[in-house]
Structures are given as structure tokens and as C-alpha cells.
Amino acid sequence: MQNRWIAIAARVLLGIVFLLPAVLNVVGAMPQPQLQPPAAAFAKALADTHYMMPLMWGTMIIAGILLLSGLAVPLALVLLAPLVINIFAFHVFLDSSGTTIAILIAVLELYLAWYYRAAFSALFRQIAPPA
């Protein structure tokens, strides 16, 4: 029973961490941090594509809503996995100022993936049964 409450807290926290900044970015209310030159160049390259940032924000909003509502949590975790890896790598390799939050996000994602591991078991079968 205690694990259930930990999972709910982790799910809500991760949902807020992704939903709030994405919504603030979409409405233009998110302050932009000062980044180290390599990190700023990477962020500018993503923004210059004119699709990557809206794609990321849209994914963050959808996944955040799913996490906060408790609906399709495994799907939300799958949607967020590439973003979590990129956030972690960004802060390890380009801008170490956010490493703590990147580690927290990665830990929450991994904990929830472990908690919902039964939903992912079919992905790791060597031979998939026909539909």
C-alpha cells in the first residue's frame, strides 16, 4: 500500500515537472535561462527548426496531463523517455547547472517505469505472439 502512495506522488510530481514548464513556454511566460555557449547553441538549433520545440512542448503537455490524471501512465512514460534522456544528457554534457533536477527527473521516470513494469513486459519478449 505504501508503494502505491509513493508511485502516486512520483507520478504527480513528474506530471507537474513536465506540464507546467511546457504550458508556460507555449504562452510565452517562461523566463529563458542564461545558458553556457554550447548549451545555448544546441537550444538555438532546436528552436531554429521551427518544429522541434513545439513538438517537445506538445509531448510534454500530453504526457503531463496523462500523468496527472493517472490515465495511460505507461504511455506517458514511453512518450517522455526520449525527453528524459535528452534532459539528462543536456545537463551532463552541455550545462551542468541543472544536473540535480535532471537526475531527479530520471529517477522519477525510472521508478515509475519499474512500478508499471508489468505494462512493459510484452516489449521485452523475444518472440511476440501474433495479434
* Mean of pLDDT values over 81-89: 97
What is the distance between the alpha carbons of residues 10 and 7, in angstroms, rounded to a whole number?
A: 5
* Mean of pLDDT values over 49-63: 96
Report the greatest alpha carbon distance in the chain. 51
On whether residue 129 sits in a domain, the answer given is no
> Which of 89, 79, 110 shows the shortest CA–CA distance to 10?
110
Give residue 120's pLDDT.
Answer: 92
Residues 6+ apart with CB under 8 A from 63: 15, 18, 76, 77, 79, 80
On whether residue 126 sits in a domain, the answer given is no
Give residue 41's pLDDT.
Answer: 95
Count of structural domains, the chain: 1
> Which of 5, 124, 2, 23 shows the shortest CA–CA distance to 70?
5
Instruction: Check whether 36 has a pLDDT greater than 80.
Output: yes
On whether residue 112 sits in a domain, the answer given is yes
On whether residue 61 sits in a domain, the answer given is yes
Q: Backbone dihedral region of 51: left (phi > 0), alpha (psi from -120 to 50 degrees) or beta? A: alpha
